[in-house]
Structure 1
Amino acid sequence: MNHFPLFADLKGRRVLVVGAGPVADRKIALLLAAGARVVVGARAAHPRVLARAHAGEIDLRLGEFNPAWLDDAWLAIAATDDRALNRKVSEAAAARRLFCNVVDDPELSSVQVPAIVDRSPVTIAISSGGSAPVIARRLRERIESLFDHSLGALADLARRRRPAIRAARPGLRARRAFYDWLLDGPVLGALRRGRPDEAERLLDEALAQAAAPPRGRVLLVGAGPGDPGLLTLRGLRALNEADVILHDRLVDAGVLSLARRDALLIDVGKAPGGRHEATQARIHALMVSHARQGRCVVRLKGGDPLVFGRGGEELQHLRRHGIDYEVVPGITAALACGAYAGIPLTHRDHAQSLTLATAHRRGGACADAEPESGRTRAYYMGVERLAGLRAQLLAGGLAPDTPCAIVENGSRSGQRALYATLENVENQARRHAIRSPALIIVGEVAALGRELAWFGEILDGEPATAATARLAAA
């Protein structure tokens, strides 16, 4: 984070604007809307700025810049087309320890003015730190469409009734649930229809009803394969509902950063070589304990919670202990790794079925190795057992030249995709030091990744001519 975001209360406080052209006038309008006392200094003034001065909206001073103009100011803005003058303003402000924004000049600025979505008293600010203001404005346009224009009226109503809400809902969970109801329920609809009295009545009726004691629950949420952009919208909402988040070791830090700032984060990941059964018992105990205290618990699992993640065991434990639960699916590793490595897991010409399997099973058994044309196999947790998996697949009748791919860190910034054959995949994985987390894809479609890959680093495990010949023959 290159800049600390800050919302300044400028009501009744003096702000100096140096410059009086159209750009300066736009800054003046924003400052006046925020209630600032605006002093404008310039050699000459645009007619709109002169009109503001004649109307008594601003204090206009014509002439050369004088550092004394900064006396009693809380903020300075330089909005001239003279960089030397802008530098003088910036340096004079810095000498007085005043923040200064120089329009379109981040090098001279100690503070940036963001693009704004105004739903007063709710204000959303977007900043690129001055490096790409056009991008910030484009993002503002998109965000504008997401927020109802009645949101400001709702926030103002909530501000005025805050003491009553706190009195009627003294518990944090109950109060948060009430605010969720305000956003999602009929009050916002009444405000949208221009009926503020009806909105007040609906709010009072809701407060008069006794709040039910908070009932704890567990949300089993799939965090996806790593890229935070692949988290589902329902998963994002769950992270913002959670009081407690029990997360796996491989859940990306970018996903965790989307959670509520005051949520309790507990790492319950299973380290390689650790006592997994003991760790799982701890997860079960934590889910039940926090839920029984009336908390909303998110059990955040990489990929999809019910695909090779012991999610089913966790649901059974919750059901045995009478805990309410919900499952929020996530994008499982096979889907993400295939997509990010350019491998269509099914294809009309090459694969009509898909098997998801794990190379890590109780008793050491391996996945189905029976040969079958037109089938794609995706193996989870198989890198450490690649030698045994390869041997079983060959023994089961798969040809040594069967295409294979291993996708390491699928969808993450460090993704590497190795394209090889069943015959040489083990040696090539060792050569390139492939490590977990990684997914193994076996089948004719794996060869297509060499042609269709679009993300991350590509590692070639066989001559391109052999792969090309195989595709041509298929």
Structure 2
Amino acid sequence: MNYLPIFANLKSRRVLVVGGGEIALRKVILLLRAGAIITVIAHKICLKLLYLFKKNIIKWLKTEFKEEHLEQVFLVIAATNNKILNKNVFIASNKRCILVNTVDDPSKCSFIFPSIIDRSPIVIGISSGGSAPVLSRLIRERIESLLPMKLGMVANIAQKWREQVKNFFLFSSERRFFWERLFNGAFVGQILSGNIKNAISILNKEIRFPNVSTGEIILVGAGPGDSGLLTLRGLQVIQQADYVLYDALVSKEILGLVRRDANCINVGKCSGGKGMLQRDINNLLISLAKKGKKVVRLKGGDPFIFGRGGEELKNLKRYDISFQVVPGVTAAIGAAAYAGIPLTHRTCSQGVIFITGDNADNNLNKINWCHLAISAITVVIYMFKVNVNKIYKKLIFYGFLKKTPVALIGQATTLNQKILIGTVENIPYLALRINNPSILIIGKVVNLHKKLKWFKSINLLDKIKYKNVIEK
């Protein structure tokens, strides 16, 4: 170990920064976050440092560096482009046993700045000992994506309760087990979702009934397929889950991001296929939560857009089970973006409406098709294939022009994405040439596809040749 990682308390301690450029500024900003009292020595300073000086946030000595400037200084930063001056600062600081950092010169550093992940009071430092700072930064970015921004709030609340927990659990082993159980349960999730009152209630319950585990259900939208469209919060959650109950539309790439030792259960079904009944899914969620498990209910797209998310949560509410929701990129948004079709556009669409082609509960007859036909809005139909002929007849009967542009998009945002461009009169034929999951986009915005297409799929060269229909 070339460097011992330590965390220094700089609050109200004097730090000397030699140099007044952009590099010095970056160090000053970091030191200010740690509460240091900063003096800058330089003949000239950059505009942002000058602003901090005029606001009395830092001190500025417009002079040459001298050894006496090190009196009562806790740390020193040499941040000039003058190698001789930097060396003199390093030697003088070493003579007084003051820790010094010379920017971009590890050989003249008695301490170095790590790449920092700040979730105060949780702070993580990553260092390569000055050998590969870019690698340290990349590692920091990877870890940063896994840690929620409100993680520090979890630590702050835990700190306030430490004494009470200590008084309740006499043995350190009991306290350790308590905190491990608390941090792995619904307590953290409630804080991260802003439900501080619920979190405190869970904490109290864990203290009073330490042998009764509290489970949690987290409803997560996986997006339309591309694993890069999974939200940062969604990634954090699926890597903490004990169980993941996923639908058939969730891609293998996203399932590959789930924590290795989590139990993954396929509870979904494709249209017309076999799968777990909704009541059985509900019962399984309740059963796992009552066992104290952290369960992710993973759905394709967004769980609140034709995903039955509301139905499942209403059932959990009846059993007083903690839950939270992580939204996802819904299929229409992802498919349209990857097809180069803006769903709204000032010249041809003043809005967009999402409807489902599923005719359960006679849904298709509840839609005001006449209003859709005369409105200057884009219409997006989910799950249209199963009832494509009924949908086509309604479009024609209620006034959609046969030459209205349409796009049918299958397996959107993946390398297997397929886009068929045509008109309303071609919909039944086009539907035979597209695979599920698929959506139908109707409106003038489809004409922008030719100019705005950007995503290259393996179906790009698969052409269909027939009148008024183009496959892209």
TM-score (norm 2): 0.57
Does residue 1:395 correspond to 2:397, yes or no? yes
Q: Does 1:331 align with 2:338?
A: no
Equivalent-residue separation in structure 2 for 1:356 and 1:346 (angstroms):
13
Determine the C-alpha separation between the residues in 2 that align with 1:274 and 1:448: 36
Q: 1:137 to 1:420 in 2, by over 3 A?
A: farther
Q: Are the structure 2 counterparts of residues 280 and 346 from structure 1 closer, same or farther at C-alpha, using a change threshold of 3 Å? A: same
Structure 2 residue 266 is matched with structure 1 residue 267: yes
TM-score, normalised via structure 1 length = 0.56
In structure 2, the residue matched to 1:382 is 384
In the alignment, the residues of structure 2 paired with residue 428 and residue 271 of structure 1 have an alpha-carbon distance, to the nearest angstrom, of 20
Deviation at 1:221, TM superposition (A): 1.1
Evaluate the alpha carbon distance shift between residue 140 and residue 238 of structure 1 in structure 2; reply closer, same or farther with a 3 A threshold.
closer
Asked if the contact 1:417/1:456 (under 8 Å) is kept, the reply is: no
> Following TM superposition, by how much is the alpha carbon of 1:463 offset from its aligned partner in structure 2, in angstroms?
7.9
2:261 alignment partner, SS class:
coil
SS in 2 for 1:447: helix
| Within-5 A mapping of 1:73-472 | 139-140=138-139, 142-143=141-142, 167-170=174-177, 174=181, 176-177=183-184, 213-274=212-273, 279-366=277-364, 367-370=367-370, 371-430=373-432, 433-457=433-457, 458=460
Does the 8 A contact of 1:428 with 1:461 survive in 2?
no
% identical aligned pairs: 35
**Matched-pair contact (CA < 8 Å) for 1:224–1:230:** yes
Deviations, residues 56-75 of structure 1 (Å, cap 9, x unaligned): xxxxxxxxxxxxxxxxxxxx
- In the alignment, residue 323 of structure 1 is paired with which amino acid? I
For structure 1, list consecutive stretches of 5 or more residues without a partner in the other structure: 1-29, 34-115, 127-132, 155-163, 186-208, 468-474
For residues 381-429 of structure 1, give each alpha carbon's deviation from its aligned partner in whole angstroms, at most 9, with x where no partner exists: 1123222211211111101111000111111121111111111232234
Q: Tell me how far apart the structure 1 counterparts of residues 336 and 412 of structure 2 sit (CA, whole Å).
A: 8
How big is the shift at 1:348? 0.5
Q: Secondary structure of the equivalent of 2:264? A: strand
Instruction: Pick which of 382-391 and 444-453 moved more.
Output: 382-391
Matched residues in 1 for 2:320 and 2:143: separation? 43
Contact 1:420/1:462 (8 A) holds in 2: no
Please state how far the C-alpha of 1:124 moved relative to its aligned partner.
8.0
Native 8 Å contact 1:238 1:298 kept in 2: yes
| Structure 1 stretch displaced more, 402-411 or 380-389 | 380-389
Decide which moves more: 304-313 or 258-267: 258-267
Cα pair distance change 1:319/1:401, threshold 3 Å: same
Task: Classify the secondary structure of the residue corresponding to 1:297.
Answer: strand
Q: Does the 8 A contact of 2:358 with 2:386 survive in 1?
A: no
RMSD of the TM alignment (CA)? Answer: 4.1
Q: Is the 2:408–2:419 contact (alpha carbons within 8 Å) kept by the matching residues of 1?
A: yes
Residues 165, 260 of structure 1: alpha-carbon distance in 2 compared, 3 angstrom cutoff: farther
Q: Is the 1:215–1:291 contact (alpha carbons within 8 Å) kept by the matching residues of 2?
A: yes
| Inter-CA distance 262–451: structure 2 relative to 1 (3 Å threshold) | same
Superposed CA offset, 1:81-128 (max 9, x none): xxxxxxxxxxxxxxxxxxxxxxxxxxxxxxxxxxx9899xx99899xx
> Which secondary structure does the structure 2 equivalent of 1:265 belong to?
strand
C-alpha distance in structure 1 between counterparts of 2:381 and 2:133, whole Å: 45
Change (3 A) 1:137 1:322: closer
Q: Distance in 2 between matches of 1:288 and 1:298?
A: 12
Distance 1:177 1:218 in 2: 13
Q: What corresponds to 1:70 in structure 2?
A: none
**Number of residue pairs aligned between Structure 1 and Structure 2:** 313
Return the alpha-carbon distance in structure 2 between the equivalents of residues 461 and 421 of structure 1: 14
Deviation for aligned residue 1:290: 0.6
> In structure 2, do the counterparts of structure 1 residues 299 and 142 end up closer, same or farther at CA, with 3 Å as the change threshold?
closer
The 1-side partners of 2:447 and 2:172 are apart by 61
Whether the aligned pair in 1 keeps the contact of 2:402 and 2:425 (CA below 8 Å) is: yes
Q: Which secondary structure does the structure 2 equivalent of 1:348 belong to?
A: coil
- Check whether the contact 2:348–2:376 (CA below 8 A) recurs between aligned residues: yes
The alpha-carbon deviation at position 272 of structure 1 amounts to: 3.3
| CA shift for structure 1 position 214 | 3.1
SS in 2 for 1:414: coil
Q: Give the secondary structure class of the aligned counterpart of 2:425.
A: coil
> Can you list the C-alpha shifts for 1:181-235, whole angstroms capped at 9, x where unaligned?
8xx99xxxxxxxxxxxxxxxxxxxxxxx778543212111111111111111221
* CA deviation profile, 1:418-464 (whole Å, cap 9, x unmatched): 1111112322342xx31110111011111211221111344666889
Distance of 2:333 and 2:383 partners within structure 1:
15
Letter paired with 1:330 = G
Distance 1:451 1:462, change over 3 A: farther
Aligned partner of 1:412: which letter?
T
Contact 1:416 1:456 (8 Å CA) reproduced? no
